[in-house]
Chains A and B, each alone.
Chain A
Amino acid sequence: MNGPGIPWYLAISAILFSTGIAGVLLRRSPLIVLLSLEIMLNASNLAFVGFSRLFGQMDGQVFALAVMAVAAAEVCVGLGLIVAMARRNLDLDVDRMTELRG
């Protein structure tokens, strides 16, 4: 490959994943928590594609596509939950969703 090597890909992947972690833990809006989750899934996808290129095996790319499908499923259910919360006039705030606390 003429361009940057795999370590560069992994570095970007790590930066994105840390950004996602910070977003999930810092933000209180469930929508932005979901968006941050997407960032984390995409960071792992980038690592998959990078390693797939490193080893010359395409299984990593196949798994990246599977991750995309799981992410779509997760967004479908997550957004359904958020809309259900909004229709019951609950606060859209993950810190106040404490009913399941044991």
Chain B
Amino acid sequence: MGNFLVWVIWLLAAAACVGTGLRVVTASNPFSSALSLIGNLASLAVLYLLASGEFVAAAQILVYAGAVMVMFLFVIAYLGGRADAPWAGGTRLIQTASVIAATALLSVVFVALMLNADGRLSDEAEVTRAFGSPAEMGRLFLTDHLLAFEITSIVLLVAAVGGVVLGMRSENEALIDAGNGEGA
């Protein structure tokens, strides 16, 4: 019975995941794209939970669906109508090529999965209850992966500084604005 429920929840989450993913790419309004991406991230978090990645699932909701997507929605709201993105007209070479590339990759992975990689994908390791728990993740981050943890914080700091620098008014812009002010 538990088995059946797990399958049902998994399939629902997977269907939601694929559906919202397609909606992100096909929607012409960026706002609904971003909202679909939130649904996509939430259903991915369900899949993480079913693969015993509790902490990753929680971080997915908090960091991605929370912080990152709020930033996205703010920028879309700031841009207003300018952000609208209707589809490009006509079929060009790059569009055909991109569809071919995506399908080729998809079929390669599916063939590999159907061959089941010589059965190496079917025997899953036994894991304890602590697998994927916040305590265990914290222990790994502060012992085996301490360097990666610290470098991640530097990457985030650099990105934050970069965001501020990109957001500053350049001298050029300030001059143009001052010129317009005098003219008026």
* Interface of chain B, main secondary structure: helix
Given contact pairs A31-B83, A49-B53, A79 touches B75 in the complex (Cβ within 8 A): yes
* Interface of chain A, main secondary structure: helix
Query: Cα distance A19–B52 when bound, in Å?
Result: 25
Query: Cα distance A66–B85 when bound, in Å?
Result: 31
Which residues of chain A (5-28) have a CB below 8 Å from chain B? 5-28
Query: Cα distance A83–B41 when bound, in Å?
Result: 24
A10, A76, A77: the one contacting B109 at CB < 8 Å is A10
Given contact pairs A23-B25, A56-B125, A66-B148, A75 touches B72 in the complex (Cβ within 8 A): yes
Query: Cα distance A31–B85 when bound, in Å?
Result: 9
Q: How many residues of B contact A (CB 8 A)?
A: 88
Residues of B close to A100: CB separation below 8 A: none
Q: Knowing that A4-B6, A6-B121, A31-B30 touch, tell me 20 more A-B residue pairs with CB under 8 angstroms.
A: A3-B9, A3-B10, A5-B124, A11-B113, A15-B21, A16-B18, A22-B102, A23-B25, A31-B34, A32-B24, A32-B25, A59-B140, A70-B152, A77-B159, A80-B163, A83-B78, A83-B166, A83-B167, A84-B167, A92-B83
- Give the interface of B toward A (CB within 8 A): 2-3, 6-7, 9-11, 14, 17-18, 21-22, 24-25, 30, 33-34, 37, 40-41, 44, 47-48, 50-53, 55-56, 59-60, 63-64, 67-68, 71-72, 75-76, 78-79, 82-85, 87-88, 94-95, 97-99, 101-103, 105-106, 109-110, 113, 116, 121-122, 124-127, 131-132, 136-137, 140-141, 144-145, 148, 152, 155-156, 158-160, 162-163, 165-167, 173
